[in-house]
Amino acid sequence: MEILNSLWESICSIFTSSGLATLSWENYVMMCISFILLYLAIKKQYEPLLLLPIAFGMLLVNVFPGIMANPTNEMLTEAQVLARNLDPASYTTTVLDGTTYYNVGQNGGLFYYLYQGVHLGIFPPLIFLGIGAMTDFGPLIANPKSFLLGAAAQVGIFITFIGATLLGFAANEAGSIAIIGGADGPTAIFVTSKLAPNLLGPIAVAAYSYMALVPIIQPPIMKLLTTKKERSIVMQQLRPVSKIEKILFPIIVVVIIALLLPDAAPLVGMLMLGNLFKESGVVSRISNTAQNELMNIVTIFLGVTVGATATGQVFLSVSTLGIILLGLIAFCMGTACGVLFGKIMCAFTHGKVNPLIGSAGVSAVPMAARISQKVGQEENPANFLLMHAMGPNVAGVIGSAVAAGVLISQIPH
Amino acid sequence: MEMALNLLLAGIVIVFFVLVLLIFIIKIYSTIVQAAQNGSQKRKDAKKAAEKKPELIKAEPQVSTAQPTATDNEAIPGEVIAAIAAAVDAMYDKPFKIKSVRRSRANSGSSWRNAGLFENTKPF
């Protein structure tokens, strides 16, 4: 009988410490959301490189919240220390009410340590290093006016900031929500980790979701704001860009931006370093590592840990709905501002610029440029806008980093 | 709200200012680089023209004259000669003359060379 009681107690003990007893309904809802995201990543292939680790991080943290637990400091009596086979001499002591307690540190969960790369703003610049090593700024150098479209598409960020403030979000939270309009995941994470780390989960999920939904969100806005004639405009071929111009570009950009806007220096600096690796042609091994192994490793860590911030208690709130809605507005505004500025450039150049390339001013490289190409070819199958759209597209990456620098420098945090 | 409006204005102005500044700087350095490259190219062309003036008169992609110069073992097919001439033409922007086309001996050279060749041509 005693054995049965002991067995029952063991079973009860295992059950009470298991997830079945400790998890709340929010965790189960989040598990369902993570299953949906996994489905979208695997079956629909929506940004799978990021959505898959994000969704799995979300799943893991809601099944086992301890994986994201902070390190703790336990105060134990001498008897408790000895009971754990620990050496009391190894720990500092605190005396409370005449009793001596030993400060025994407890390690945090695995994701807590990986998350420090996000928390300290390390991973997003490393991702930018890889992006820089993969990016060809040739179209932008050949047609520097593309910078204007990259700048125009950032207007949505600042308009959304007003909207978020009106909805009652604090300035730091509004800034983090608004940067979703830049359609640049690492930038959104970088800004949020600085301004409002508590919103990291919802903002990262919203940013990457909208980037994945570019082919669905952008075309209706592009078609709504342009005429058939404008969409059919064939642009002149870009001039070839020499190697020396490509080598000088990252050096000049980083000097100018880091001098004027130091807060954007980590992102722009790493982006340009990666690009210099590529264009210099003398460090192909490093360039390959930056755009492949390093990028992949950081992507895994960034994805799972950002996903792990989306616990049920944080994610399932009214403010998350507000973030997702405002993020969508920011993204649409960015697209619309880019296209409208493209129309202005079209008018000024007497029809030499196809306004469709303006939508690529939101980052989302290279998806946004591909959409400009696709929508343009629907009107004129012989029209090839891809290279023209790559100019605003990479300008958008620089523009969103500059906008991030403005937000970080102007908003108290 | 006042802060939001300030940020809207400051943000738009700063982003446009920085990127417009970059436009000007890129235009300036592109112009300088292009001018320098054109200048040095012209000087090189002029120098070569002065050195090889008599030869230049007949310096055209002479595919037909190259074909008989396939001196080594068996004759190289005309299509291959034409493809090589087209490739050379694509690489050099100036008049050229192919003097000979020879087959390379597959097993010549060191093992390291063959390993490098294999590594680089493996995907094809």
- B47 with B58, same domain: the answer is no
Report the distance separating Cα A52 and Cα A304, nearest Å: 8
A77 phi, psi to nearest 5 deg: -75, 170
Rounded to whole angstroms, what are the CA distances from A371 to A66, A238, A348?
A: 42, 19, 24
Per-residue confidence in pLDDT tens, chain A, 413 aa = 788 888 888 888 787 777 777 788 999 999 999 999 999 889 988 878 888 998 999 999 999 998 999 998 888 888 888 888 888 888 888 888 888 888 888 889 999 999 999 888 899 999 999 999 999 999 999 999 999 999 999 999 999 999 999 988 999 999 999 999 988 888 999 999 999 988 888 898 888 888 878 888 999 999 999 999 999 999 988 888 999 999 999 999 999 999 998 989 999 999 999 999 999 999 999 999 999 999 999 999 999 998 998 888 888 888 888 898 999 999 999 999 999 999 999 999 999 999 999 999 998 888 899 999 999 999 888 888 998 999 999 999 999 999 999 999 999 87
- Angular region, A183: left φ>0, alpha ψ -120 to 50, beta rest: left
Rounded to whole angstroms, what are the CA distances from A175 to A170, A172, A178, B8?
A: 9, 5, 5, 11
- B117 with B60, same domain: the answer is yes
Domain count, chain B: 2
Report the distance separating Cα A251 and Cα A397, nearest Å: 16
Tokens of residue B103, six digits: 């087959």
For residue A400, the number of C-alpha atoms closer than 13 Å in the C-beta half-sphere is: 36
Q: Which of A117, A18, A111, A31 is nearest to A68 (CA)?
A: A111
What is the side-by-side order of every strand in the sheet holding A72-76?
A72-76, A99-106, A93-96
Report the distance separating Cα A104 and Cα A75, nearest Å: 6
* Longest Cα–Cα distance in chain A: 94
- B84 with B43, same domain: the answer is no
State pLDDT tens for residues B65-106.
Answer: 444 444 444 577 777 888 888 888 877 767 788 888 887 765
Q: Indicate yes or no: CB of A407 within 8 angstroms of CB of B33.
A: no
Nearest-Cα distance to chain B for A144, in Å, is: 5
Contact between residue A247 and residue B33 where contact means Cβ atoms under 8 Å apart: no
Report the distance separating Cα B118 and Cα B122, nearest Å: 6
B2, B8, B9, B18, best to mutate vs chain A, most A CBs in 10 Å? B18
- B84 with B58, same domain: the answer is yes
Q: Indicate yes or no: CB of A148 within 8 angstroms of CB of B16.
A: yes
Indicate the residue type of B67.
Q
What residues of A are in contact with residue B14 (Cβ under 8 Å)? 261, 402, 406
Residues 37-66 of B with CB under 8 A from A: 37
Residue A196: how many CB atoms within 10 A of its CB?
21
Report the distance separating Cα A53 and Cα A34, nearest Å: 10
For residue A350, the number of C-alpha atoms closer than 13 Å in the C-beta half-sphere is: 0
Residue A159 touches chain B, beta carbons under 8 Å: yes
Q: Which residues contact A125 (CB under 8 A, 6 or more apart)?
A: A186, A190, A266, A267, A269, A270
- What is the model's pLDDT at position A62? 93
Contact between residue A386 and residue A372 where contact means Cβ atoms under 8 Å apart: yes
- What is the model's pLDDT at position A35? 95
Q: Indicate yes or no: CB of B11 within 8 angstroms of CB of A150.
A: no
Residue A410 touches chain B, beta carbons under 8 Å: yes
Contact between residue A183 and residue A403 where contact means Cβ atoms under 8 Å apart: no
DSSP per-residue letters across A144-210: TTHHHHHHHTTHHHHHHHHHHHHTT--HHHHHHHHGGGG--HHHHHHHHHHH-GGGHHHHHHHHHHH
Tell me the helices (H) and strands (E) count for chain A, helix number first: 23, 3
What residues of B are in contact with residue A155 (Cβ under 8 Å)? 12
Residues 348-407 of A with CB under 8 A from B: 395, 398-399, 402-403, 406-407
Tokens of residue A240, six digits: 């070839």
Domain boundaries, chain A: 72-106, 113-410
Of B5, B6, B19, the CB nearest to A395: B19
H or E stretch covering A94:
strand A93-96
- B43 with B62, same domain: the answer is no
- B45 with B105, same domain: the answer is no
- B13 with B37, same domain: the answer is yes
Q: Indicate yes or no: CB of A141 within 8 angstroms of CB of B14.
A: no
Tell me A84's DSSP state.
T
Contact between residue A145 and residue A395 where contact means Cβ atoms under 8 Å apart: no
- Residues of A225-248 as b/e, b for ≥16 C-beta within 10 angstroms? bbeeebbbbebeebeebbeebbbb
Tokens of residue A380, six digits: 């004129």
Q: Which residues contact A194 (CB under 8 A, 6 or more apart)?
A: A121, A408, A413
State pLDDT tens for residues B32-48.
Answer: 988 888 888 888 888 88
B2, B17, B21, B26, best to mutate vs chain A, most A CBs in 10 Å? B26
Q: Indicate yes or no: CB of A151 within 8 angstroms of CB of B20.
A: yes
What residues of B are in contact with residue A399 (Cβ under 8 Å)? 15, 19
- B41 with B59, same domain: the answer is no
Report the distance separating Cα B81 and Cα A304, nearest Å: 56
Report the distance separating Cα A359 and Cα A365, nearest Å: 12
Domain of B86 in residue numbering reads as 54-124
Report the distance separating Cα A296 and Cα A413, nearest Å: 31
- B46 with B32, same domain: the answer is yes
Contact between residue A265 and residue A259 where contact means Cβ atoms under 8 Å apart: no
Q: Which residues contact B68 (CB under 8 A, 6 or more apart)?
A: none
Which sign, positive or negative, has the C-alpha torsion A49, A328, A377, A357? Answer: negative
pLDDT higher than 60, residue B56: no
- B66 with B80, same domain: the answer is yes
Residue B25 touches chain A, beta carbons under 8 Å: yes
- What is the pLDDT confidence band of residue B59, given thresholds at 50, 70 and 90? very low
Report the distance separating Cα A305 and Cα A317, nearest Å: 20
Q: Which of A347, A394, A185 is nearest to A193 (CA)?
A: A185
- B44 with B63, same domain: the answer is no
- B92 with B124, same domain: the answer is yes
- What is the pLDDT confidence band of residue B57, given thresholds at 50, 70 and 90? very low
In chain A, the residue whose alpha carbon lies closest to the alpha carbon of B33 is A245
